[in-house]
Chain A
Amino acid sequence: MRLITERPDTRPTPAASRDRGGPQQPILIVNGLRKYFPIKGGLLQRKVAEVKAVDGVDFSVMKGETLGIVGESGCGKSTLARLLMHLIPKDEGELIFDGDPVDDIRGLSLRDLRRDLQMVFQDSYSSLNPRLPIQDSIAYGPRVHGVGKAEAAALAADLLNKVGLRPSMFGARYPHELSGGQRQRVNIARALALDPRMLILDEAVSALDKSVEAQVLNLLSRLKRELNLTYLFISHDLSVVQYVSDRVLVMYLGQVVEIGPVDAIYAAPRHPYTRALLDSRLSMNPLERMSEPPLSGDPPNPVNPPSGCRFRTRCAFAESVCAERQPRLAAADGGAHLVACHMADAESGHGRAGLSAPLH
């Protein structure tokens, strides 16, 4: 058997040499990203309202880090992922990938972006074509980018090895012949087939059993090390996010409410929503019982979000200023930890503004 590692690398340019901006340049900068979905209704099916799924989101992702994104379901996490992948058109905003604006005359073409940025979907079954053997699903991306048939097949085999599936045993199988965990490994291999520099993992492990989830998470961290990847890790599972992330971004109703280093946020959340989310985790200690739910009710309708601060309808500290002005995302302590809450802004006029550790 020929050793796969001896295969000459004929792919256009290896990921590492595609680095343009150097280590200090964020791999992805998102500025003012906005996406409203129209709701049609009435007799003539005209647009009657809009779902404000992603409403003015800014953040950046540094090279080599894992940025976790958390929030309740329906807060716009998945829409954000699809916007970043350009799977749905954005309404407004700017995406800069390693210093180059995306889908711009001057900048990076979509085709080039898609070599560098790939995605793993939540549903491991529906994200694989049921009529294709998995090795063909993996080889499809490279084939689209002009890699020859034999080379693409060799690459697929190589990738299957990388994700821990023996090609001779699994390559020719169909998705329904694999378990959920195996399928998600295939999806990871497929996302890696174009040799990307960054992966978006949209609830990629959420549907798996806990033990399988741990295996896949270990695989992801190993791949990240070996292939020098950057992850955007979207999940509703706060413990998993804590485990994998370097920094965490908290979303509420289509907006960023807090972003910062994972330790800072988990140790001292500055936004009452983040605080409530963290409190709603079940403790392993039976003595720490929850007497009342830290977060009650459903999030408000994203069609008509509350004025001012969107969280004020569920916030225990809401004051009149919260309904009047929308809080800006600003540095809380030091530079890295940003929060959008009037309580963190000394000049906001909120009664608790400027208190050093307001939530404890």
Chain B
Amino acid sequence: MSDVNAATLADFAASEASPPVRGYWASVGHRLRYDYATLFFLSVIIVVALLAICAPWLAPFDPTKTAMAYRLKPVGFKNFMLGTDDLGRDMLSRLLWGGRTSLIMGMVPVGVATVIGGFLGVLAGFVGGRVNTLIMRAMDIFYAFPSVLLAVAISGTLGGGIKNGMLALTIVFIPPLCRVAESATTLVRGLDFVEAARASGATTLSIILHHVLGNVLSPILIFASSLISVSILLGSGLSFLGLGVEPPTPDWGLMLSALRSGIYIQPLVCALPGVAIFITSLSFNLVSDGLRQAMDVKA
């Protein structure tokens, strides 16, 4: 410590009052720990996910086994805790199994689109120029379709099935994610620390990995998390139209569609898949909001 001068002492004094050192992600976690509403809805998501994962052990009946004698029975009928559907299948078992497909339809397309759209967006934002024009104008064309229409158009022509449905949703989510990644990257690219990194002789790849990604990751993740709810709604919507999951595979959207004719007989039972979709999508939405609040700070 040969260099202690007046300024250093001033720094020591200033640091007495400053908060403990905490990294960005640690401070996000810290803020989330005290956000009880977000924690509550996060636990709802975890419970729904656990129920779906454990469906094979939890479901009291085979979700595809039909029983014509037990069609559209009310909640609490004999062993059917949540009643039966239009083909006499146990609703509870179908809801548990259906959670699997609905959650997969909600999360896989967003995950894949985040990787592809994020990559394209960071590339377009960092390289700029012609590459940017090429990528972003192509995205503009997909942006010119309302999301529902694009999803329906793709899965409608490719035909139903969970794979085509997920493919359609992935294509729908790539352009918005690409845009968010591109604008965040363009913003970061113009900051002096990127210039400083270039001035130290770093390669483009090194700058992107060490200086750009860390700064664009949180806006991309915040946005992607808000899309999960949309993806669940859209995925169930596709199944509802007969474009996503195919019968007899249980899926909340498909169940809702199949039970439409049953609403006059057993309104409560027929509304259950919708309740499941609603709770899951609401939880994802609120957790995403909480995440935004926790991440959306300078720190």
Contact = CB atoms under 8 A, between A and B. Distances in A.
Contact of A144 (B5, B195, B202, B215): B202
Nearest to B299: A176
Contacts of A267: none
Nearest to A111: B201
Contacts of A115: 201
A119 interface: yes
Interface stretch (A120-128, A245-253, A293-301): A120-128
A118 B214 contact: no
A137 B7 contact: no
B77 interface: no
Interface stretch (B9-17, B176-184, B226-234): B9-17
A166 interface: yes
A29 B20 CA distance: 48
A174 B211 contact: no
Contact of B198 (A87, A131, A176): A87
Interface in B1-41: 1-8, 10-12, 14-15, 18-19, 21, 23-24
A119 B214 contact: no
A161 B199 contact: no
A23 interface: no
Given A126-B192, A162-B3, A164-B3, A169 B197 contact: no
A110 B11 CA distance: 36
Contacts of B12: 166, 169
Contacts, number: 111
B221 to A, nearest CB: 13
A169 B23 CA distance: 15
B206 interface: yes
B195 A177 contact: no
Contacts of B19: 177
Given A141-B201, A162-B3, A128 B24 contact: no
B210 interface: yes
Nearest to A179: B14
A164 B5 contact: yes
A130 interface: yes
Contacts of B200: 114, 118, 140-141, 144-145, 190, 193-194
Interface string A102-122: 000000001100110011011
A356 interface: no
Given A121-B192, A144-B206, A176 B7 contact: no
A172 B21 contact: yes
B191 interface: yes
Contact of A145 (B8, B21, B201): B201
Residue picked from B6, B24, B191, most chain A C-beta under 10 Å: B191
A280 interface: no
Contacts of B11: 164-166, 169-170, 182
Interface string B122-136: 000000000000000
A281 B200 CA distance: 36
A126 B193 contact: yes
Contacts of B202: 140-141, 144
Contacts of B14: 179, 182
B23 A174 contact: yes
Contacts of B18: 177
Contacts of B24: 130-131, 174
A124 B18 CA distance: 19
A121 B195 CA distance: 9
Contacts of B201: 110-111, 114-115, 141, 144-145, 194
A129 B193 contact: yes
A131 B195 CA distance: 16
Given A166-B8, A166-B12, A174 B21 contact: yes
Contacts of A121: 192, 195-196
Nearest to A114: B201
A133 B214 CA distance: 12
Interface string A86-101: 0100000000000000
A219 interface: yes
A162 B5 CA distance: 11
A164 B192 contact: no
A119 to B, nearest CB: 5
B298 interface: yes
A177 B214 contact: no
A213 to B, nearest CB: 12
Interface centre among A129, A165, A177, A194 (most CB of B within 10 A): A129
B197 to A, nearest CB: 7
A1 to B, nearest CB: 9
A219 B228 CA distance: 52
Contacts of B299: 130, 174, 176
A85 interface: yes
B196 A127 contact: yes
A176 B196 contact: no
B191 A126 contact: yes
Interface of A: 82, 85, 87, 110-111, 114-115, 118-119, 121-123, 126-133, 137, 140-141, 144-145, 161-162, 164-166, 169-170, 172-174, 176-177, 179, 181-182, 187, 190-191, 193-194, 215, 218-219
26 contacts: A82-B195, A87-B195, A118-B200, A126-B192, A127-B192, A127-B196, A130-B24, A130-B299, A131-B214, A131-B215, A132-B210, A132-B214, A133-B21, A140-B197, A141-B201, A141-B202, A164-B4, A164-B7, A170-B11, A170-B15, A172-B21, A182-B14, A193-B200, A194-B200, A194-B201, A215-B6
Given A118-B200, A141-B200, A144-B197, 9 more contacts: A114-B199, A119-B199, A123-B192, A169-B11, A169-B12, A174-B21, A176-B298, A182-B11, A190-B200
